[in-house]
Amino acid sequence: MAAGAPRAQAAPADCPSLNVIAVPGTWETSVDEPKQGMLAQVTRGLPDTVRTDYVSYPATAFPWDGEVYGRSKRDAVNSARAMVADMAARCGATRFALIGYSQGADAAGDLAAEIGTGLGVVPPDRVAAVGLLSDPRRSPTDALIGPQVPGAGAGGARAGGFGWLSPKVRTFCAAGDLYCSVPNDDLAGRSAGLLTQLTAQDPLQIPSYAMTLQSIMSEALWQGGAAILSAPADNPASEQWLRQVQDFLASGIHQSYPYYVVDANGTTATAWLRNWLSDAARENP
């Protein structure tokens, strides 16, 4: 070593090979014990070289309740981003996995889109996997694990998708889950989801909002959308959507992922995602 040259700094001994950033769903976070809810089915039993950090945030409201949902999701994105930045600065060899459920999938997906399009706090090659359970911004072009479902997420697809991270993203959506699967001809539901996203006031997402609005308005002019737009006075679209949401909440579909089968071997969505993360942790970058 040349005289006066700085010594290379070894990574701290507690640096994991893979840091899983887990963003829970609506009403699943807790300051006292955040490791509850759907994602616990995914993160339990991962290899010892994996560290899992749960994101605590307000996690309130549904993706069609615009008053607080957007701000809640923005808090989740900011918290998850800070976790990634802190770990990346301290542990130069650590890779990341982003996972989320419901509102948490909305937030984890937005952070993945930032990173994948070159706007993130780490380069895309430091992200090993992104797993989204019931993503309210699911695109029909996202890599879906399990049976095909119609339409897109309630909040509309992300403009630009996941960029360089697209090959590393897997999404899961049970048939009938209105968070991640609003049929294309359901203009009332899609409009409600868009209005919710606008409450986030995230400038990075403005192109997505504009594309979604343009799509909804264009399809509203098609003959197929006439039934919703011309609903009779005693059965307006808003009431149709309200009944649809009430039926959906009563169905339990949104909570079905621990037993929702996604492949011919009988693997459930949460088990498939856990196995995928375990394989990612064992891979050499």
What pLDDT, in 10s, does the model give residues 14-64?
899 999 999 998 767 655 455 568 999 999 999 999 999 999 887 766 655
Number of CB atoms found within 10 A of residue 242's CB: 14
Report d(CA 200, CA 188) in Å as an integer: 20
CA-closest candidate to residue 128, choices 227, 21, 251: 21
Report d(CA 257, CA 42) in Å as an integer: 10
Number of CB atoms found within 10 A of residue 60's CB: 16
Number of CB atoms found within 10 A of residue 70's CB: 23
Looking at residue 114, what is its pLDDT?
Answer: 96
Report d(CA 284, CA 218) in Å as an integer: 46
Averages of pLDDT over each 10 residues, the chain, 285 residues: 43 86 80 69 94 86 60 90 97 97 93 95 97 94 96 84 97 90 57 42 44 38 36 50 65 90 97 97 80
Q: Which residues contact 68 (CB under 8 A, 6 or more apart)?
A: 58, 60, 61, 199
Query: Do residues 133 and 172 lie in contact, with contact meaning Cβ atoms separated by under 8 Å?
Result: yes
Looking at residue 275, what is its pLDDT?
Answer: 97
Helix axes 237-251, 187-198, angle to 10 degrees: 80
Number of CB atoms found within 10 A of residue 68's CB: 14
Q: How wide is the angle at C-alpha 170 spanned by C-alphas 169 and 171, nearest 5°?
A: 125
Sequence ranges of the domains in the chain: 18-282
Looking at residue 233, what is its pLDDT?
Answer: 44
- Determine the distance from the C-alpha atom of residue 275 to the mean position of all C-alpha atoms in its chain, rounded to a whole number: 18
Write down the pTM of the prediction: 0.78
What separation in angstroms does the CA of 202 have from each of 72, 139, 207?
12, 19, 10
Q: Hey, what are 219's tokens?
A: 């399809």
- CATH fit for domain 18-282, picks 3.40.50.620, 2.130.10.30, 3.40.50.10800, 3.40.50.1820: 3.40.50.1820
Q: Which residues contact 72 (CB under 8 A, 6 or more apart)?
A: 57, 58, 59, 60, 61, 103
Looking at residue 107, what is its pLDDT?
Answer: 94
Looking at residue 26, what is its pLDDT?
Answer: 77
Looking at residue 244, what is its pLDDT?
Answer: 65
